[in-house]
Chains A and B, each alone.
Chain A
Amino acid sequence: MASLVEDNPSNSDSSDMLIETARRCRREIVKMTHRAAAGHPGGSLSAIDILTALYCRRLNIDPQNPDDPERDRFIMSKGHASPGMYAILHESGFISEEDLTSFRKLGGVCQGHVDMKWTPGVDFSAGSLGMGLSFGIGCALAARLDGSDRTTFVMLGDGELQEGQVWEAAIAAVHHEIGNLKVFVDRNRIQNDDFVDKQMRIFDVAAKWDGFGWAVREIDGHDMDEILSAIQWLDSITDGPAVVIAHTVKGKGVSFMENNPKFHGAAPNDEQLAQALEELA
Chain B
Amino acid sequence: MTLAASRDGYGNGLMGLVHDEKVIVLEADLGKSTKSQMFRQAHPERTFSLGISEQNMMLVGAGLASCGYKPFASTFAIFTQRGFEQIRNGIARPNLPVHICGSHGGIHTGTDGSSAQSIADLAIYRSLPNMTVMHPCDDLSAEALTIKLANYDSPSYTRTARNKTPRIYDSDSAASLQIGKGFVLRNGKDVAIIACGVMVAKALTAADKLAGSGIEATVIDMHTIKPLDEELISRLADECGCFVTAEDHSIIGGLGGAVAEYLSATTPLPLERIGVKDHYGESGEGEELLTKYGMSSDDIISASQRAIERK
* Chain A residues within CB distance 8 Å of chain B: 69, 73, 75, 115-117, 123-125, 127-128, 130-132, 134-143, 145-146, 164-165, 168-169, 171-172, 175-176
Q: Is the CB of A143 within 8 A of B67?
A: yes
Q: Is the CB of B62 within 8 A of A141?
A: no
**Complex Cα distance A169/B86, Å?**
13
Given A141-B48, A168-B53, A172-B50 in contact, is the A135-B95 Cβ separation under 8 Å? no
Chain B residue with Cβ nearest A141 = B64
Chain B residues contacting A140 (CB-CB under 8 Å) are: 63
Chain B positions within 8 Å of A168 at CB level: 50-51, 53, 55-56
Of all chain A residues, which has the CB nearest B68?
A69
CB distance from A253 to the nearest CB of B (A): 31
B65 within 8 A of A: yes
Interface presence of B264 (CB below 8 A) = no
A138–B66 touching, CB < 8 Å: yes
Q: Mark B51-80, 1 if CB is under 8 A from A, else 0.
A: 101011111111111111101000000000
| Chain B positions near chain A (C-beta within 8 angstroms) | 24, 46, 48-51, 53, 55-69, 71, 85-86, 89-90, 93-95
Chain A CB count within 10 A is highest, among B57, B63, B68, for B63
A80 to chain B, nearest CB (A): 13
- Hey, which chain B residues are within 8 Å of A132, CB to CB? 59
Residues A131 and B90 in contact in the complex (CB < 8 Å), given A138-B59, A138-B61, A145-B69: yes
Contact B89 A138 (CB under 8 A): no
A135 near B53: Cβ-Cβ < 8 Å: no
Contacts of A176 in B (CB 8 A): 48
**How far does the alpha carbon of A140 sit from the alpha carbon of B24 in the complex, in Å?**
14
Closest to B64 in A: A138
A138 and B53 form a contact (CB under 8 A): no
Which one of B50, B64, B90, B94 lies within 8 Å of A142 (CB-CB)? B64
A165: chain B residues at CB < 8 Å are 53, 55-56, 59, 86
Q: Of B48, B50, B94, which is within 8 A of A116 by CB?
A: B94
Residues of A within 8 A of B49 (CB): 175
**A contact residues around B61 at 8 Å (CB):** 138
The binding surface of chain B is classed by DSSP as helix
Given A141-B48, A142-B68, A168-B56, are A128 and B89 also a contact pair (CB < 8 Å)?
A: yes
Specify which of A137, A143, A146, A171 is in contact with B51 (CB 8 Å cutoff). A171
What is the predominant secondary structure among interface residues of chain A facing chain B?
Answer: helix
Given contacts A165-B86, A171-B51, contact A136 B94 (CB under 8 A): no
The residues of A that contact B57 with a CB separation of less than 8 Å are 134
Write out the residue numbers on chain A whose beta carbons fall within 8 Å of the beta carbon of B53: 165, 168-169, 171-172
A135 vs B66: C-alpha distance when bound (angstroms): 9
Given A116-B94, A127-B89, A131-B89, A172 and B68 touching (CB < 8 A)?
A: no
Expressed in whole angstroms, the minimum distance between the Cβ of B102 and any Cβ of chain A is 19
Contacts of B55 in A (CB 8 A): 130-131, 134, 164-165, 168
Q: Is the CB of B66 within 8 A of A116?
A: yes
Kindly list chain B residues whose C-beta atoms are within 8 Å of the C-beta of A172: 50-51, 53, 56, 60
Closest Cβ–Cβ distance, residue A98 to chain B (whole Å): 24
| Shortest Cβ distance from residue A87 to the other chain B in the assembled complex, whole angstroms | 23
> B21: nearest residue on chain A (CB-CB)?
A145
Contact A135 B48 (CB under 8 A): no
Closest-by-CB residue of A relative to B69 is: A142
When C-beta atoms are compared, the residue in chain A nearest to B57 turns out to be: A134
Please indicate which of the listed interface residues B58, B65, B90 has the most CB atoms of chain A within 10 Å of its own CB. B90
Nearest A residue (CB) for B26: A138
The 5 closest A-B pairs by CB, nearest first: A138-B63, A134-B59, A142-B67, A168-B53, A168-B56
B266 CB to nearest A CB, Å? 32
